[in-house]
Structure 1
Amino acid sequence: MAPQQRLDERAPVFVISVAAELSGMHPQTLRQYDRLGLVSPQRTSGRGRRYSARDVANLREVQRLSQEEGINLAGIKRILELQDEVGALQEQLDRVSEALAAMTPSDRRRVFSADRTGEVSALRRGERPGRRQSGALVLWRPPRRGGGA
């Protein structure tokens, strides 16, 4: 049995009539949204529109925001732009976090802790924040195992 291949959600695979049917809209509405820059599908060499699964999801979101939330098209366009920006920043953060984790030995990684007042402290794994004494943070360390002095 061949392994299942996952469809890339950004692959431009749907012609406008299929995308319209999948999104529950009229093809003319999709053309209008393309002109407004709300959902811009990729184009074939003959200038035909090709929608991805992500485009269809965005079309459904446009419809939901418009009909259920009463948001105008300019507001919806800004929301979609911000969602794309947040997604790109999340991907970048994930890559940076992975790179940082790969560069830092596990025994040197830091953990952050906040006390009742909201004061944040950076600790090493295994350390626990102690109580504040005269403004200074005292760290509590677990006793060493193995009978060392």
Structure 2
Amino acid sequence: MYLFNVRVYGILLNDDNEVLISDEKTLNVSFTKFPGGGLEYGEGLIDALKREFMEECQLKIEVVRHIYTTDFYEKSSFNESQILSIYYQVSAVSPITFDIKRSPFDFSSEKQQEKIEVFRFVPVELLQEAELTFKTDKAAWSTFRSLLTNTKG
């Protein structure tokens, strides 16, 4: 039986003020989220986030600041666990070399396998909460947009 599922995600902006998002397809379910994933036993949050970015994007990152931690009940979409998600703003410390897609769910050039993940940059001013699949990502994006607005204003 699962109890808690701790997840950690990164919100990465590029120099063009675009945010990196991930389109994924697994078990015939497609979803859009921020890059990141599950904490492994014995691992800290920052180490997990760095590992996830290396595994998913082959990208070294550093944490800029904490953005959001889940503050409501969220049941996993995949099992009976309760999701606890932590979001950080991150920056790239190595060049971006992975393939960047332009359209949502563009899996056309990907080898068909159990899990497919592709990435795209979306201008900050154009990314709407409704485009993100999970409630926690929506809450984190809302918080991040508010922080950006308060920083600029």
TM range (shorter): under 0.3
Say which structure, 1 or 2, has more relative contact order (CA 8 Å, 6+ apart): 2
Structure having the larger proportion of residues in helix: 1
Structure having the larger proportion of residues in strand: 2
Greater Rg by CA: 1
